[in-house]
Amino acid sequence: MKISEASRKERKSLGLTQGQMIKESKISVTHYSKMENGQNRIFIDDLILILQLRGISITQFFKKYFPSNDNIDYSQISQELNQAFYDNDVKKAKELKLKILNTKHMSTELRDRANLIIAALNSKDDKTDTAAVKQAMHDLF
């Protein structure tokens, strides 16, 4: 969905005219109308102001009209990685790493943690702990 479509849907859900929607902003009705029709763009500052003036949470607006396609929660994976480490579960850590790699917009920090946890767990199996792995694990946990 485009911002223009989301803006129109939100305005209509509030039962407002275009003039009422932009009241107290610096945007003209003509510009807003063209934006809703996809002929003009809107600056993010103007969009935020319009949403704030109407009491619309910016976060909720974007969650409502632009939901994430990735149903994977960063904090959930982070906790699962920690648990895999504490359980010495290399297999689970590798599964989580694949999930991270296959998820758009996932944090590189989380990917790096997964790699480090896998390396640490593999080194435990080999009985060859290194100072670098120990220090990194200490820093992360």
Task: Provide the sign of the torsion angle of the four alpha carbons 14, 15, 17, 19, taken in this order.
Answer: negative
Residue 135 clears pLDDT 80, i.e. is over it: no
Measure CA of the first residue to CA of the last residue in the chain; give whole Å.
40
Domain locations in the chain as residue ranges: 3-65, 74-140
What is the structure's pLDDT at 123? 78
Task: Provide the sign of the torsion angle of the four alpha carbons 36, 41, 46, 48, taken in this order.
Answer: positive
pTM beyond 0.75: no
What is the structure's pLDDT at 121? 87
Q: Structure tokens of 37? A: 């029709």
Question: pLDDT-based confidence at 102, cuts 50/70/90?
Answer: confident
Residues 54, 23: Cα–Cα separation, whole Å? 9
Residues 110, 78: Cα–Cα separation, whole Å? 7
Half-sphere exposure of 90 (CA within 13 A, CB side): 9
Per-residue pLDDT of 22-50, as tens digits, reads 999 999 999 999 999 999 999 999 999 99
Per-residue pLDDT of 60-74, as tens digits, reads 888 888 776 555 678
**CATH number of the domain located at residue range(s) 3-65 in this protein:** 1.10.260.40
